[in-house]
Protein backbone atom coordinates (compact mmCIF):
# COMPACT_ATOMS: atom_id res chain seq x y z
CA UNK A 1 0.00 0.00 0.00
CA UNK A 2 2.78 2.43 0.90
CA UNK A 3 4.60 1.67 -2.34
CA UNK A 4 1.38 2.27 -4.28
CA UNK A 5 0.85 5.60 -2.55
CA UNK A 6 4.43 6.57 -3.29
CA UNK A 7 4.00 5.82 -6.98
CA UNK A 8 0.79 7.82 -7.23
CA UNK A 9 2.45 10.67 -5.34
CA UNK A 10 5.22 10.60 -7.94
CA UNK A 11 2.64 10.80 -10.75
CA UNK A 12 0.85 13.69 -9.07
CA UNK A 13 4.15 15.44 -8.46
CA UNK A 14 5.16 15.00 -12.09
CA UNK A 15 1.84 16.48 -13.25
CA UNK A 16 2.29 19.46 -10.93
CA UNK A 17 5.82 20.01 -12.25
CA UNK A 18 4.56 19.92 -15.84
CA UNK A 19 1.90 22.54 -15.10
CA UNK A 20 4.41 24.71 -13.23
CA UNK A 21 6.97 24.55 -16.05
CA UNK A 22 4.32 25.61 -18.57
CA UNK A 23 3.06 28.50 -16.46
CA UNK A 24 6.62 29.66 -15.81
CA UNK A 25 7.53 29.60 -19.51
CA UNK A 26 4.49 31.73 -20.36
CA UNK A 27 4.67 34.09 -17.38
CA UNK A 28 6.56 36.98 -19.04
CA UNK A 29 5.39 37.21 -22.66
CA UNK A 30 2.34 34.99 -22.46
CA UNK A 31 1.72 31.79 -24.41
CA UNK A 32 3.20 31.44 -27.86
CA UNK A 33 0.87 32.86 -30.49
CA UNK A 34 1.00 32.45 -34.27
CA UNK A 35 -1.56 32.89 -37.08
CA UNK A 36 -3.36 29.66 -36.18
CA UNK A 37 -3.63 30.87 -32.56
CA UNK A 38 -5.27 34.10 -33.70
CA UNK A 39 -7.78 32.16 -35.81
CA UNK A 40 -8.67 29.95 -32.84
CA UNK A 41 -9.08 32.97 -30.54
CA UNK A 42 -11.20 34.78 -33.14
CA UNK A 43 -13.44 31.71 -33.34
CA UNK A 44 -13.76 31.74 -29.54
CA UNK A 45 -14.72 35.43 -29.67
CA UNK A 46 -17.40 34.79 -32.29
CA UNK A 47 -18.75 31.88 -30.24
CA UNK A 48 -19.05 34.06 -27.13
CA UNK A 49 -20.68 36.90 -29.05
CA UNK A 50 -23.26 34.62 -30.67
CA UNK A 51 -21.70 34.69 -34.15
CA UNK A 52 -21.18 30.95 -34.35
CA UNK A 53 -17.91 29.26 -35.22
CA UNK A 54 -16.38 31.87 -37.51
CA UNK A 55 -13.05 33.06 -38.89
CA UNK A 56 -11.49 36.47 -38.24
CA UNK A 57 -13.64 38.08 -40.93
CA UNK A 58 -16.85 36.51 -39.61
CA UNK A 59 -17.16 33.89 -42.36
CA UNK A 60 -17.93 30.27 -41.31
CA UNK A 61 -14.71 28.58 -40.24
CA UNK A 62 -14.17 25.03 -41.47
CA UNK A 63 -10.39 24.78 -41.75
CA UNK A 64 -10.08 24.29 -37.97
CA UNK A 65 -12.31 22.13 -35.74
CA UNK A 66 -14.30 23.64 -32.85
CA UNK A 67 -13.31 22.01 -29.55
CA UNK A 68 -10.27 24.13 -28.61
CA UNK A 69 -11.96 27.49 -29.35
CA UNK A 70 -15.07 26.31 -27.49
CA UNK A 71 -12.98 25.49 -24.40
CA UNK A 72 -11.27 28.90 -24.59
CA UNK A 73 -14.66 30.59 -24.92
CA UNK A 74 -15.89 28.84 -21.77
CA UNK A 75 -12.88 30.08 -19.79
CA UNK A 76 -13.38 33.58 -21.20
CA UNK A 77 -16.93 33.44 -19.87
CA UNK A 78 -15.39 33.19 -16.38
CA UNK A 79 -13.54 36.45 -16.95
CA UNK A 80 -10.20 35.37 -18.43
CA UNK A 81 -8.66 37.22 -21.38
CA UNK A 82 -8.33 35.10 -24.55
CA UNK A 83 -4.58 34.41 -24.31
CA UNK A 84 -4.81 33.90 -20.55
CA UNK A 85 -7.59 31.36 -21.09
CA UNK A 86 -5.50 29.47 -23.65
CA UNK A 87 -2.49 29.61 -21.33
CA UNK A 88 -4.35 28.13 -18.35
CA UNK A 89 -6.18 25.55 -20.47
CA UNK A 90 -3.05 24.14 -22.08
CA UNK A 91 -1.06 24.08 -18.83
CA UNK A 92 -3.82 22.03 -17.20
CA UNK A 93 -4.04 19.78 -20.27
CA UNK A 94 -0.34 18.93 -19.95
CA UNK A 95 -0.89 17.93 -16.31
CA UNK A 96 -3.80 15.69 -17.36
CA UNK A 97 -1.69 14.23 -20.17
CA UNK A 98 1.04 13.27 -17.68
CA UNK A 99 -1.51 11.40 -15.55
CA UNK A 100 -3.11 9.69 -18.57
CA UNK A 101 0.30 8.56 -19.84
CA UNK A 102 1.05 7.05 -16.42
CA UNK A 103 -2.30 5.25 -16.23
CA UNK A 104 -1.92 3.94 -19.78
CA UNK A 105 1.58 2.57 -19.14
CA UNK A 106 0.44 1.02 -15.88
CA UNK A 107 -2.60 -0.67 -17.46
CA UNK A 108 -0.49 -2.22 -20.22
CA UNK A 109 2.46 -3.29 -18.06
CA UNK A 110 0.75 -3.93 -14.73
CA UNK A 111 3.43 -1.84 -13.02
CA UNK A 112 2.40 1.37 -11.27
CA UNK A 113 6.03 2.37 -10.90
CA UNK A 114 6.54 2.05 -14.64
CA UNK A 115 3.59 4.41 -15.02
CA UNK A 116 5.28 6.83 -12.63
CA UNK A 117 8.47 6.63 -14.70
CA UNK A 118 6.53 7.51 -17.85
CA UNK A 119 4.87 10.40 -16.02
CA UNK A 120 8.22 11.90 -15.00
CA UNK A 121 9.66 11.56 -18.50
CA UNK A 122 6.63 13.22 -20.14
CA UNK A 123 6.50 15.99 -17.54
CA UNK A 124 10.06 17.22 -18.13
CA UNK A 125 10.23 16.55 -21.88
CA UNK A 126 11.00 19.76 -23.75
CA UNK A 127 8.68 18.92 -26.70
CA UNK A 128 5.73 18.52 -24.33
CA UNK A 129 6.42 21.66 -22.29
CA UNK A 130 6.97 23.62 -25.49
CA UNK A 131 3.69 22.29 -26.90
CA UNK A 132 1.71 23.30 -23.82
CA UNK A 133 3.28 26.76 -23.80
CA UNK A 134 1.66 27.71 -27.11
CA UNK A 135 -1.91 28.91 -27.68
CA UNK A 136 -2.68 26.04 -30.04
CA UNK A 137 -4.96 23.01 -30.03
CA UNK A 138 -2.35 20.24 -29.63
CA UNK A 139 -2.59 19.80 -25.81
CA UNK A 140 -6.37 19.32 -25.88
CA UNK A 141 -6.21 17.11 -28.95
CA UNK A 142 -3.40 14.91 -27.64
CA UNK A 143 -5.17 14.41 -24.29
CA UNK A 144 -8.22 13.13 -26.19
CA UNK A 145 -5.99 10.99 -28.43
CA UNK A 146 -4.17 9.31 -25.53
CA UNK A 147 -7.52 8.75 -23.79
CA UNK A 148 -8.76 6.99 -26.92
CA UNK A 149 -5.69 4.72 -27.03
CA UNK A 150 -6.08 4.00 -23.30
CA UNK A 151 -9.73 2.96 -23.77
CA UNK A 152 -8.79 0.77 -26.74
CA UNK A 153 -6.19 -0.90 -24.52
CA UNK A 154 -8.90 -1.68 -21.97
CA UNK A 155 -11.15 -3.06 -24.70
CA UNK A 156 -8.44 -5.60 -25.63
CA UNK A 157 -8.36 -7.23 -22.21
CA UNK A 158 -9.48 -10.87 -22.47
CA UNK A 159 -11.40 -10.68 -19.18
CA UNK A 160 -13.33 -7.49 -19.95
CA UNK A 161 -15.91 -7.57 -22.75
CA UNK A 162 -17.94 -4.54 -21.64
CA UNK A 163 -19.05 -2.24 -24.45
CA UNK A 164 -18.28 0.89 -22.48
CA UNK A 165 -14.63 0.79 -23.57
CA UNK A 166 -15.35 0.90 -27.34
CA UNK A 167 -17.94 3.61 -26.72
CA UNK A 168 -15.53 5.70 -24.65
CA UNK A 169 -12.79 5.13 -27.22
CA UNK A 170 -15.13 6.33 -29.98
CA UNK A 171 -16.14 9.43 -28.04
CA UNK A 172 -12.49 10.23 -27.33
CA UNK A 173 -11.63 9.72 -31.02
CA UNK A 174 -14.41 12.15 -31.94
CA UNK A 175 -13.12 14.70 -29.42
CA UNK A 176 -9.60 14.33 -30.82
CA UNK A 177 -10.84 14.83 -34.41
CA UNK A 178 -12.95 17.81 -33.35
CA UNK A 179 -9.74 19.35 -32.01
CA UNK A 180 -7.29 18.25 -34.74
CA UNK A 181 -8.55 16.83 -38.02
CA UNK A 182 -5.36 14.77 -38.35
CA UNK A 183 -6.60 12.61 -35.45
CA UNK A 184 -8.80 10.83 -37.99
CA UNK A 185 -6.01 8.24 -37.95
CA UNK A 186 -7.50 7.00 -34.66
CA UNK A 187 -10.34 5.34 -36.58
CA UNK A 188 -8.18 2.85 -38.54
CA UNK A 189 -6.19 2.26 -35.33
CA UNK A 190 -9.43 1.52 -33.46
CA UNK A 191 -10.79 -0.73 -36.20
CA UNK A 192 -7.61 -2.82 -36.30
CA UNK A 193 -7.37 -3.02 -32.52
CA UNK A 194 -10.99 -4.00 -31.95
CA UNK A 195 -10.87 -6.66 -34.65
CA UNK A 196 -7.95 -8.15 -32.70
CA UNK A 197 -10.09 -8.51 -29.56
CA UNK A 198 -10.27 -11.95 -27.99
CA UNK A 199 -13.57 -13.78 -28.25
CA UNK A 200 -16.20 -14.47 -30.86
CA UNK A 201 -16.41 -12.48 -34.08
CA UNK A 202 -19.96 -11.37 -33.24
CA UNK A 203 -18.69 -9.64 -30.11
CA UNK A 204 -15.87 -8.02 -32.06
CA UNK A 205 -18.25 -6.65 -34.69
CA UNK A 206 -20.54 -5.32 -31.95
CA UNK A 207 -17.62 -3.52 -30.28
CA UNK A 208 -16.50 -2.13 -33.61
CA UNK A 209 -20.00 -0.84 -34.39
CA UNK A 210 -20.19 0.89 -31.01
CA UNK A 211 -16.79 2.49 -31.54
CA UNK A 212 -17.59 3.75 -35.03
CA UNK A 213 -21.03 4.98 -34.01
CA UNK A 214 -19.84 6.84 -30.90
CA UNK A 215 -16.96 8.40 -32.79
CA UNK A 216 -18.43 8.84 -36.24
CA UNK A 217 -21.76 10.49 -35.43
CA UNK A 218 -20.35 13.65 -33.71
CA UNK A 219 -17.67 14.02 -36.38
CA UNK A 220 -20.16 13.51 -39.22
CA UNK A 221 -22.47 16.11 -37.67
CA UNK A 222 -19.66 18.66 -37.61
CA UNK A 223 -18.63 17.96 -41.19
CA UNK A 224 -22.25 18.25 -42.29
CA UNK A 225 -22.40 21.66 -40.60
CA UNK A 226 -19.32 22.71 -42.55
CA UNK A 227 -20.80 21.62 -45.87
CA UNK A 228 -24.05 23.44 -45.13
CA UNK A 229 -22.34 26.62 -43.90
CA UNK A 230 -19.42 26.92 -46.31
CA UNK A 231 -19.68 24.24 -48.99
CA UNK A 232 -16.55 22.37 -47.85
CA UNK A 233 -15.86 19.85 -45.11
CA UNK A 234 -12.42 20.86 -43.80
CA UNK A 235 -11.43 23.98 -45.72
CA UNK A 236 -10.51 24.41 -49.34
CA UNK A 237 -8.02 26.31 -51.51
CA UNK A 238 -4.90 24.89 -49.87
CA UNK A 239 -3.26 23.79 -53.12
CA UNK A 240 -1.07 20.73 -53.55
CA UNK A 241 2.26 20.16 -51.85
CA UNK A 242 5.56 20.70 -53.64
CA UNK A 243 7.14 17.90 -51.58
CA UNK A 244 7.40 14.26 -52.65
CA UNK A 245 6.29 11.38 -50.43
CA UNK A 246 9.84 10.28 -49.53
CA UNK A 247 10.83 13.84 -48.66
CA UNK A 248 7.75 14.21 -46.48
CA UNK A 249 8.51 10.92 -44.73
CA UNK A 250 12.12 11.95 -44.16
CA UNK A 251 11.06 15.28 -42.64
CA UNK A 252 8.48 13.59 -40.44
CA UNK A 253 10.97 11.04 -39.10
CA UNK A 254 13.51 13.84 -38.64
CA UNK A 255 11.01 15.61 -36.39
CA UNK A 256 10.92 12.48 -34.22
CA UNK A 257 14.71 12.21 -34.21
CA UNK A 258 15.00 15.88 -33.22
CA UNK A 259 13.45 14.99 -29.87
CA UNK A 260 16.71 13.28 -28.87
CA UNK A 261 19.30 14.96 -31.12
CA UNK A 262 20.52 18.57 -31.23
CA UNK A 263 18.68 20.83 -33.65
CA UNK A 264 21.97 21.32 -35.50
CA UNK A 265 22.23 17.62 -36.40
CA UNK A 266 21.87 16.81 -40.12
CA UNK A 267 18.31 16.09 -41.22
CA UNK A 268 19.36 12.68 -42.58
CA UNK A 269 20.77 11.72 -39.17
CA UNK A 270 17.65 12.95 -37.40
CA UNK A 271 15.49 10.93 -39.78
CA UNK A 272 17.58 7.80 -39.23
CA UNK A 273 17.31 8.16 -35.44
CA UNK A 274 13.56 8.81 -35.71
CA UNK A 275 13.13 5.66 -37.80
CA UNK A 276 15.21 3.68 -35.28
CA UNK A 277 13.10 4.88 -32.34
CA UNK A 278 9.83 3.97 -34.05
CA UNK A 279 11.20 0.60 -35.21
CA UNK A 280 12.48 -0.23 -31.71
CA UNK A 281 9.08 0.38 -30.15
CA UNK A 282 7.17 -1.59 -32.78
CA UNK A 283 9.77 -4.38 -32.83
CA UNK A 284 9.82 -4.58 -29.05
CA UNK A 285 6.06 -4.90 -28.98
CA UNK A 286 6.19 -7.71 -31.56
CA UNK A 287 8.86 -9.63 -29.69
CA UNK A 288 6.91 -9.47 -26.44
CA UNK A 289 4.93 -12.57 -27.50
CA UNK A 290 1.89 -13.11 -25.30
CA UNK A 291 1.95 -9.49 -24.18
CA UNK A 292 1.42 -8.20 -27.73
CA UNK A 293 -2.32 -7.61 -27.58
CA UNK A 294 -2.49 -4.96 -24.78
CA UNK A 295 0.26 -2.99 -26.48
CA UNK A 296 -1.32 -3.15 -29.94
CA UNK A 297 -2.72 0.43 -29.87
CA UNK A 298 0.78 1.73 -29.04
CA UNK A 299 2.43 0.01 -31.98
CA UNK A 300 -0.39 0.79 -34.40
CA UNK A 301 -0.43 4.46 -33.57
CA UNK A 302 3.35 4.88 -33.77
CA UNK A 303 3.28 3.48 -37.32
CA UNK A 304 0.07 5.11 -38.56
CA UNK A 305 0.67 8.37 -36.70
CA UNK A 306 4.03 8.95 -38.36
CA UNK A 307 2.79 7.68 -41.71
CA UNK A 308 -0.31 9.88 -41.69
CA UNK A 309 1.70 13.06 -41.07
CA UNK A 310 3.97 12.24 -44.00
CA UNK A 311 0.96 11.44 -46.17
CA UNK A 312 -0.93 14.65 -45.26
CA UNK A 313 2.12 16.76 -45.98
CA UNK A 314 2.68 14.97 -49.28
CA UNK A 315 -0.93 15.30 -50.45
CA UNK A 316 -1.66 18.84 -49.22
CA UNK A 317 0.15 22.13 -48.72
CA UNK A 318 0.33 22.13 -44.91
CA UNK A 319 2.85 23.30 -42.34
CA UNK A 320 6.10 21.36 -41.93
CA UNK A 321 5.73 18.35 -39.65
CA UNK A 322 7.31 19.21 -36.24
CA UNK A 323 4.08 20.34 -34.57
CA UNK A 324 1.92 17.75 -36.31
CA UNK A 325 4.03 14.78 -35.24
CA UNK A 326 3.76 15.65 -31.51
CA UNK A 327 0.84 13.21 -30.94
CA UNK A 328 3.33 10.36 -31.45
CA UNK A 329 5.46 11.47 -28.48
CA UNK A 330 3.50 9.90 -25.60
CA UNK A 331 2.83 6.58 -27.42
CA UNK A 332 6.54 6.45 -28.24
CA UNK A 333 7.51 7.01 -24.58
CA UNK A 334 4.98 4.43 -23.38
CA UNK A 335 6.20 1.96 -25.99
CA UNK A 336 9.83 2.53 -25.03
CA UNK A 337 8.98 1.96 -21.37
CA UNK A 338 7.27 -1.33 -22.24
CA UNK A 339 10.28 -2.43 -24.27
CA UNK A 340 12.55 -1.67 -21.29
CA UNK A 341 10.22 -3.58 -18.94
CA UNK A 342 10.18 -6.57 -21.30
CA UNK A 343 13.98 -6.50 -21.51
CA UNK A 344 14.17 -6.47 -17.73
CA UNK A 345 11.85 -9.47 -17.54
CA UNK A 346 13.71 -11.45 -20.23
CA UNK A 347 17.25 -10.76 -19.16
CA UNK A 348 16.65 -10.35 -15.43
CA UNK A 349 17.98 -6.84 -15.26
CA UNK A 350 18.31 -5.58 -11.75
CA UNK A 351 15.82 -2.79 -10.87
CA UNK A 352 18.81 -0.53 -10.44
CA UNK A 353 19.62 -0.81 -14.15
CA UNK A 354 16.14 0.36 -15.10
CA UNK A 355 16.33 3.16 -12.53
CA UNK A 356 19.67 4.20 -14.00
CA UNK A 357 18.21 4.33 -17.52
CA UNK A 358 15.27 6.42 -16.33
CA UNK A 359 17.56 8.76 -14.43
CA UNK A 360 19.70 9.20 -17.53
CA UNK A 361 16.63 10.12 -19.62
CA UNK A 362 15.42 12.62 -17.04
CA UNK A 363 18.86 14.15 -16.54
CA UNK A 364 19.25 14.45 -20.31
CA UNK A 365 15.89 16.23 -20.50
CA UNK A 366 16.61 18.83 -17.81
CA UNK A 367 19.11 20.95 -19.80
CA UNK A 368 16.72 21.19 -22.76
CA UNK A 369 13.74 22.28 -20.71
CA UNK A 370 15.93 24.67 -18.71
CA UNK A 371 17.19 26.32 -21.89
CA UNK A 372 13.61 26.56 -23.16
CA UNK A 373 12.44 28.23 -19.96
CA UNK A 374 15.30 30.74 -20.12
CA UNK A 375 14.68 31.56 -23.78
CA UNK A 376 10.94 31.95 -23.15
CA UNK A 377 11.64 34.50 -20.40
CA UNK A 378 14.14 36.44 -22.51
CA UNK A 379 12.87 36.10 -26.08
CA UNK A 380 9.25 35.03 -25.81
CA UNK A 381 7.54 32.27 -27.78
CA UNK A 382 6.49 31.86 -31.40
CA UNK A 383 5.60 34.73 -33.72
CA UNK A 384 3.67 37.24 -31.65
CA UNK A 385 4.81 36.57 -28.07
CA UNK A 386 8.14 38.35 -28.42
CA UNK A 387 9.74 41.63 -27.25
CA UNK A 388 9.78 42.97 -30.81
CA UNK A 389 6.01 42.83 -31.14
CA UNK A 390 5.51 44.17 -27.62
CA UNK A 391 7.47 47.31 -28.56
CA UNK A 392 6.33 47.63 -32.19
CA UNK A 393 6.14 51.33 -33.21
CA UNK A 394 3.78 50.44 -36.07
CA UNK A 395 1.30 48.80 -33.71
CA UNK A 396 1.66 51.68 -31.24
CA UNK A 397 0.78 54.20 -33.96
CA UNK A 398 -2.19 52.17 -35.17
CA UNK A 399 -3.39 51.80 -31.61
CA UNK A 400 -3.45 55.59 -31.26
CA UNK A 401 -4.77 56.19 -34.80
CA UNK A 402 -7.40 53.52 -35.57
CA UNK A 403 -7.81 52.68 -39.26
CA UNK A 404 -11.15 52.76 -41.03
CA UNK A 405 -12.29 51.16 -44.23
CA UNK A 406 -10.64 48.14 -45.84
CA UNK A 407 -7.31 47.04 -44.34
CA UNK A 408 -4.89 44.59 -45.94
CA UNK A 409 -1.61 43.36 -44.47
CA UNK A 410 1.04 40.73 -44.99
CA UNK A 411 0.39 39.90 -41.30
CA UNK A 412 -3.31 40.50 -40.59
CA UNK A 413 -3.20 38.14 -37.62
CA UNK A 414 -1.10 40.40 -35.40
CA UNK A 415 -3.47 43.29 -36.17
CA UNK A 416 -6.41 41.20 -34.96
CA UNK A 417 -4.53 39.85 -31.93
CA UNK A 418 -3.06 43.14 -30.67
CA UNK A 419 -5.56 45.71 -31.96
CA UNK A 420 -8.75 43.78 -32.62
CA UNK A 421 -8.50 45.19 -36.15
CA UNK A 422 -10.05 43.01 -38.87
CA UNK A 423 -7.75 42.86 -41.89
CA UNK A 424 -7.37 40.81 -45.04
CA UNK A 425 -4.13 39.15 -46.04
CA UNK A 426 -2.37 40.68 -48.99
CA UNK A 427 -2.54 38.38 -52.05
CA UNK A 428 -0.49 35.20 -52.19
CA UNK A 429 1.35 34.09 -55.33
CA UNK A 430 1.33 30.42 -54.32
CA UNK A 431 -0.10 28.31 -51.55
CA UNK A 432 2.03 27.45 -48.54
CA UNK A 433 4.48 24.62 -49.41
CA UNK A 434 3.01 24.49 -52.90
CA UNK A 435 3.96 25.51 -56.44
CA UNK A 436 0.34 26.13 -57.43
CA UNK A 437 -0.53 29.74 -58.30
CA UNK A 438 -3.51 31.33 -56.56
CA UNK A 439 -4.80 34.07 -58.85
CA UNK A 440 -5.35 36.38 -55.85
CA UNK A 441 -3.63 39.47 -57.27
CA UNK A 442 -6.26 40.61 -59.84
CA UNK A 443 -9.12 40.66 -57.26
CA UNK A 444 -6.87 42.72 -54.95
CA UNK A 445 -6.28 45.24 -57.75
CA UNK A 446 -10.02 45.48 -58.38
CA UNK A 447 -10.67 45.87 -54.66
CA UNK A 448 -8.15 48.72 -54.44
CA UNK A 449 -9.79 50.48 -57.38
CA UNK A 450 -13.23 50.18 -55.80
CA UNK A 451 -12.08 51.25 -52.35
CA UNK A 452 -10.54 54.54 -53.50
CA UNK A 453 -7.86 56.57 -51.79
CA UNK A 454 -9.48 56.76 -48.36
CA UNK A 455 -10.96 53.30 -48.29
CA UNK A 456 -7.91 51.00 -48.44
CA UNK A 457 -4.97 50.84 -46.06
CA UNK A 458 -2.03 48.48 -46.47
CA UNK A 459 -0.02 47.69 -43.32
CA UNK A 460 3.26 46.06 -44.27
CA UNK A 461 5.67 44.38 -41.86
CA UNK A 462 8.95 43.46 -43.62
CA UNK A 463 9.86 40.84 -41.02
CA UNK A 464 6.52 39.08 -41.52
CA UNK A 465 6.83 38.76 -45.28
CA UNK A 466 6.86 35.18 -46.53
CA UNK A 467 7.89 34.06 -49.97
CA UNK A 468 4.51 32.62 -50.92
CA UNK A 469 3.02 36.16 -50.72
CA UNK A 470 3.47 38.85 -53.32
CA UNK A 471 6.16 41.28 -52.14
CA UNK A 472 5.50 44.93 -51.45
CA UNK A 473 7.29 45.77 -54.70
CA UNK A 474 4.90 43.43 -56.53
CA UNK A 475 1.91 45.19 -54.98
CA UNK A 476 3.29 48.63 -55.83
CA UNK A 477 3.68 47.57 -59.45
CA UNK A 478 0.09 46.35 -59.56
CA UNK A 479 -1.48 49.15 -57.49
CA UNK A 480 -0.17 52.69 -57.04
CA UNK A 481 0.61 52.95 -53.31
CA UNK A 482 2.22 55.75 -51.33
CA UNK A 483 3.81 55.52 -47.88
CA UNK A 484 1.75 57.55 -45.43
CA UNK A 485 3.69 56.57 -42.30
CA UNK A 486 7.07 54.86 -42.07
CA UNK A 487 8.29 53.08 -38.93
CA UNK A 488 11.32 51.04 -37.99
CA UNK A 489 9.32 47.80 -38.26
CA UNK A 490 6.72 48.59 -40.90
CA UNK A 491 4.84 50.97 -43.16
CA UNK A 492 1.32 52.26 -43.54
CA UNK A 493 0.48 52.74 -47.23
CA UNK A 494 -2.57 54.07 -49.05
CA UNK A 495 -3.57 54.14 -52.71
CA UNK A 496 -2.26 57.08 -54.69
CA UNK A 497 -4.65 59.93 -55.39
CA UNK A 498 -4.76 61.81 -58.69
CA UNK A 499 -1.56 63.77 -59.25
CA UNK A 500 0.56 61.85 -56.69
d(CA 116, CA 6): 9
Of 77-81, 199-203, 383-387, 424-428, the range with the lowest mean pLDDT is: 199-203
Q: 499 burial class (0-12, 13-18, 19+ CB within 10 angstroms)? A: exposed
The pLDDT of residue 499: 47
Report pTM: 0.92
Which residues of 371-434 form beta strands (DSSP E)?
Answer: 406-409, 424-425
Average pLDDT over residues 92-118: 91
- pLDDT of 278-336, one tens digit each? 998 888 888 766 456 778 899 999 999 999 999 988 887 666 567 899 999 999 999 88
pLDDT band at 197 (very low <50, low <70, confident <90, very high): confident
CB 285 within 8 A of CB 302: no
Of 83-92, 230-239, 298-307, 378-387, the range with the lowest mean pLDDT is: 230-239
Average pLDDT over residues 240-256: 88
Average pLDDT over residues 489-493: 96
With 60 as the cut, is the pLDDT of residue 212 above it? yes
Average pLDDT over residues 256-272: 90
Tell me how far the alpha carbon of residue 316 is from its chain's centroid. Answer: 17
pLDDT band at 128 (very low <50, low <70, confident <90, very high): very high
d(CA 1, CA 315): 53
pLDDT band at 243 (very low <50, low <70, confident <90, very high): confident
Q: Among candidates 24, 46, 136, which has minimal Cα distance to 83?
A: 136
In 312-330, which positions are buried (b, 16+ CB within 10 angstroms) versus exposed (e)? bbbebbbebbbbbbbbbbb
d(CA 19, CA 274): 27
d(CA 302, CA 325): 10
With 80 as the cut, is the pLDDT of residue 340 above it? no
- pLDDT of 353-363, one tens digit each? 555 666 666 66
Residue 386's alpha-carbon distances to 23, 269, 466, 490, in angstroms, are 16, 31, 18, 16
What is the three-class DSSP state of 99? Answer: helix
Averaged confidence pLDDT in the chain: 89
Amino acid sequence: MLRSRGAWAAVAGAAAVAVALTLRATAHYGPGAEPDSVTYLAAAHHLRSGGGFADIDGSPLTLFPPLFPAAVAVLEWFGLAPLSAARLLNAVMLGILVVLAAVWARRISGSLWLGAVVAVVVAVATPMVTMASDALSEPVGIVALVACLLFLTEALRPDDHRLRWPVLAGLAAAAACLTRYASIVLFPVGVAALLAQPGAWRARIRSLAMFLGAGGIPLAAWLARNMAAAGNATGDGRGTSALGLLTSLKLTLASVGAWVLPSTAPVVLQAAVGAALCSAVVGGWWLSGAARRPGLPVALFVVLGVGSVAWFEWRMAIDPPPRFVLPVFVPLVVGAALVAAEAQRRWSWRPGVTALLVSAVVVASVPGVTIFERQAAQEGLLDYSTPAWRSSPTLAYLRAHPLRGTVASDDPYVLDLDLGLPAEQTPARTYWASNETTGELPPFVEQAARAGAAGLSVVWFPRSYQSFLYSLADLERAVCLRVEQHFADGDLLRPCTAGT
